[in-house]
A and B are shown apart, each in its own frame.
Chain A
Amino acid sequence: MDLQTWTYLIVGGTFLLYIGIAIWSRASSTGEFYVAGKGVHPVANGMATAADWMSAASFISMAGLIAFKGYDASVYLMGWTGGYVLLAMLLAPYLRKFGKFTVPEFIGERYYSQTARIVAVICLIVASITYVIGQMKGVGVAFGRFLEVDFEVGVIVGMAIVFVYAVLGGMKGITYTQIAQYCVLIFAYTIPAIFISLNLTGNPIPQLGLGSELTDKSGYLLDKLDTIVTDLGFKQYTAQNDTSLNMVLLTLSLMIGTAGLPHVIIRFFTVPKVRDARASAGWALVFIAILYTTAPAVGSMARLNLTNTIQTGPIGDPQANLLYAERPDWFKKWETTGLLQFEDKNGDGRIQYYNDKNPEFAAKAESFGWKGNEMVKIDRDIMVLANPEIASLPFWVIALVAAGGLAAALSTAAGLLLAISSAISHDLLKGIFMKDISEKNELMAGRIAMAGAIVVAGFLGMNPPGFAAQVVALAFGLAASSIFPALMMGIFYKKMNNTGAVVGMLAGLGTTLVYIFMYKGWLFIPGTNNLPNNAENWLFGIQPESFGAVGALINFVVAFIVSKVTAAPPDHIQHLVDDIRVPKGAGAAASH
């Protein structure tokens, strides 16, 4: 069978599975629609949370980032996992004890203020929509490449699939579908990694392969990688190039942002007990860590394989550069997507791949007759998808990777759409504008809101505003600077009042937005930025993506000061805080 048949078979098979699960677990009440009736086992919930959290960015982009940035990309590994520690210890058990459906509902009730609830709804919708756009785009790209259909067709098929299982199944359907999606994506990620690690180091466990010696006895993997990349003028793979301050703040922003993202928090409302919420965060991290600890091995091995494919022998030997006419199949396929581009600058019919921005090496390269780096484009996002092809693995493995990428994008999109729909139907309609809406109508409104959100996200995914990478930073900045501090102070600081919380959220959000817009353009419109986006102009050298941590700090400080000079919260709110701090009595809160 050829690759195309395998891809149709595996991708089609997994889609039938997801839809079958949705029909089998159809939601019949608002409880089942929003939080799966709170009956999901912590291990199952952890697995669903992992699929929910790991998006196309984790599956497709992260290892590619690591491959090209080396040590500096550690911030993503630590940042996107360390947030679960904060979530488990500072938020999850208390929000589960509180026992409601949505994040804005907690904020509205704890701060006895509809304004606070509306501010939370706005933060939630902006953060979630920006995130969904990226997922829908990922779906389109993956379909386009593997099914050889138009990008737009890919997005529409993806929208239809999500529509069926998210709208019908609600949280209950999404949870069971996500468990299936997790299994697909983790197999798809680890199987090629095991093959490649075995090939290069003889060790089948990629996590250990990273620290092992190469099978050709040329030394340790990372040492070899450091040597071959620095020999070509690139930065040393294991060395630090970013400033420590920036790395610390970016890691912190990603951690706080993770703990503040509503579609992740909402998952901890779905377990039966408070103690399950604690364990559930741990299980989620177990399932996430399987992929995240594999990623450094995938990244380093992909970089080594890629470099060795092109530079086949000693640098400077004219025979040691790959002949363009003899380039492998995967090279040709990715060239047709435009994500990989070659330009024969010195006309020798061979490929020279080196860092021509490094003056020292560029001078040396000239003496070899090289006229600049000829790999004019290597898109980082192709590394994970191309990896099994570079290592010449069987077709079914390559098809599995396509299914895995789609599973990652679809599961995250579904989780985000549910968070958006519950914010609209439950917080805005039921909570504020139509208080006497019946459960049946609320359920209907939830489904309509979700369908609407899918159409909007699909449309924006097809016509991406061209700033996908920036809006992800914005989504994390928003979650870190507004939602997380409000939730944490609501639990840990009994005297925090409504004015403090609202002013704090707006201050954190406002400063973060202004800082990002100053360097990236107002509303990301090109040319409207006040200062050039580079290290010399950044305040204390802090890049805009890292500012969420500073925004969160501003939120905490402002809220604290304002709450000191305004009236303390009423007694019944202080009792509410006492109540959510102890697990006892959680069962009662769950039934509505």
Chain B
Amino acid sequence: MTSSSGDYWKANIRLVAILLVIWFVVSYLFGIILVDVLNNIRIGGVGLGFWFAQQGSMFTFLILIFVYAKRMNALDRKYNVHED
């Protein structure tokens, strides 16, 4: 493995790690573990914890995947490993 593709892989891992931390926080932390605390805050007629569990986490998952796809495509070009 050349050093440039080694850097590419490290950048990839860093990106995935950051996105998976967010994935964990919105679903497990906000949606389950901290649900009662967050339910003290209300948006409209829904407690925030309940909202994360039944709506917010799914919207966040969507954003995470598209951010990942966009950033990875940029990394592919930066390290010149993109498809033709």
B83:A584 contact, CB within 8 angstroms: yes
Determine how close the nearest CB of chain A comes to the CB of B35; give it in whole angstroms. 6
In the complex, per-residue mask of A203-225: 1 if CB is within 8 Å of any chain B CB, else 0: 00001101111000001111100
B55:A82 contact, CB within 8 angstroms: no
A273:B83 contact, CB within 8 angstroms: yes
Q: Tell whether A275 pairs with B69 under 8 Å between CB atoms, given A71-B53, A211-B51.
A: yes
Q: Which residues of B contact A88 (CB under 8 A)?
A: 65, 68-69
Q: Which residues of B contact A89 (CB under 8 A)?
A: 16, 19-20, 65, 68
Q: Can you pick out 12 interface pairs between chain A and chain B where the beta carbons lie within 8 Å of each other?
A: A71-B54, A74-B32, A74-B53, A85-B65, A89-B65, A244-B32, A248-B28, A273-B83, A282-B65, A578-B1, A583-B76, A587-B83
A23–B46 CA distance with the chains assembled, in angstroms? 49
In the complex, per-residue mask of A561-592: 1 if CB is within 8 Å of any chain B CB, else 0: 00000000000000000100111111100000
A278:B50 contact, CB within 8 angstroms: no
For residue A296, CB closer than 8 A to chain B, the reply is yes
Closest B residue to A80 by CB, please name it.
B58
Q: Which residues of B contact A278 (CB under 8 A)?
A: 65, 68-69, 72-73
B82:A584 contact, CB within 8 angstroms: yes
For residue A266, CB closer than 8 A to chain B, the reply is no
Q: Which residues of B contact A77 (CB under 8 A)?
A: 53-54, 57-58
A82:B27 contact, CB within 8 angstroms: yes
Determine how close the nearest CB of chain A comes to the CB of B22; give it in whole angstroms. 9
A293:B55 contact, CB within 8 angstroms: yes
A281:B76 contact, CB within 8 angstroms: no
B43:A211 contact, CB within 8 angstroms: yes
A210–B55 CA distance with the chains assembled, in angstroms? 10
Q: Tell whether A220 pairs with B58 under 8 Å between CB atoms, given A74-B53, A273-B83, A282-B69.
A: no
- Partner among B5, B46, B68, B84 whose Cβ is within 8 Å of the Cβ of A210: B46
Determine how close the nearest CB of chain A comes to the CB of B25; give it in whole angstroms. 12
- Partner among A78, A275, A293 whose Cβ is within 8 Å of the Cβ of B73: A275
Closest A residue to B34 by CB, please name it.
A244
16 extra interface residue pairs, beta carbon distance < 8 Å, beyond A74-B50, A275-B72, A289-B61: A66-B54, A74-B53, A81-B58, A82-B23, A85-B20, A220-B44, A221-B45, A240-B36, A275-B69, A275-B73, A289-B58, A293-B59, A296-B55, A578-B5, A582-B5, A587-B83
B40-84: which have CB < 8 Å to A? 43-47, 50-51, 53-55, 57-59, 61-62, 64-66, 68-69, 72-73, 76, 80-84
For residue A274, CB closer than 8 A to chain B, the reply is yes
Q: Tell whether A282 pairs with B59 under 8 Å between CB atoms, given A77-B53, A220-B45, A240-B35.
A: no
Closest A residue to B15 by CB, please name it.
A89
Q: Which residues of B contact A210 (CB under 8 A)?
A: 45-46, 54-55
- Partner among B12, B23, B47, B76 whose Cβ is within 8 Å of the Cβ of A275: B76
Q: Which residues of B contact A286 (CB under 8 A)?
A: 62
Q: Which residues of A contact B57 (CB under 8 A)?
A: 77-78, 81-82
A230-248: which have CB < 8 Å to B? 238, 240, 244, 247-248
Q: Which residues of B contact A240 (CB under 8 A)?
A: 35-36
Q: Which residues of B contact A498 (CB under 8 A)?
A: none
A582–B12 CA distance with the chains assembled, in angstroms? 10
Q: Which of A74, A93, A587 has the most CB of B within 10 A?
A: A74
- Partner among A81, A85, A289, A583 whose Cβ is within 8 Å of the Cβ of B81: A583
Q: Tell whether A74 pairs with B64 under 8 Å between CB atoms, given A210-B55, A211-B51, A293-B59.
A: no
For residue A279, CB closer than 8 A to chain B, the reply is yes
B58:A71 contact, CB within 8 angstroms: no
- Partner among B20, B32, B58 whose Cβ is within 8 Å of the Cβ of A293: B58
Closest A residue to B45 by CB, please name it.
A220
A85–B55 CA distance with the chains assembled, in angstroms? 16
Q: Which residues of B contact A82 (CB under 8 A)?
A: 23, 27, 57, 61
A536-576: which have CB < 8 Å to B? none
A587–B27 CA distance with the chains assembled, in angstroms? 37
A275:B83 contact, CB within 8 angstroms: yes
In the complex, per-residue mask of A270-303: 1 if CB is within 8 Å of any chain B CB, else 0: 0001110011011001100100110010000000
A207:B55 contact, CB within 8 angstroms: yes
Q: Which of B1, B16, B55, B64 has the most CB of A within 10 A?
A: B55
Determine how close the nearest CB of chain A comes to the CB of B34; give it in whole angstroms. 10
Q: Which residues of B contact A275 (CB under 8 A)?
A: 69, 72-73, 76, 82-83
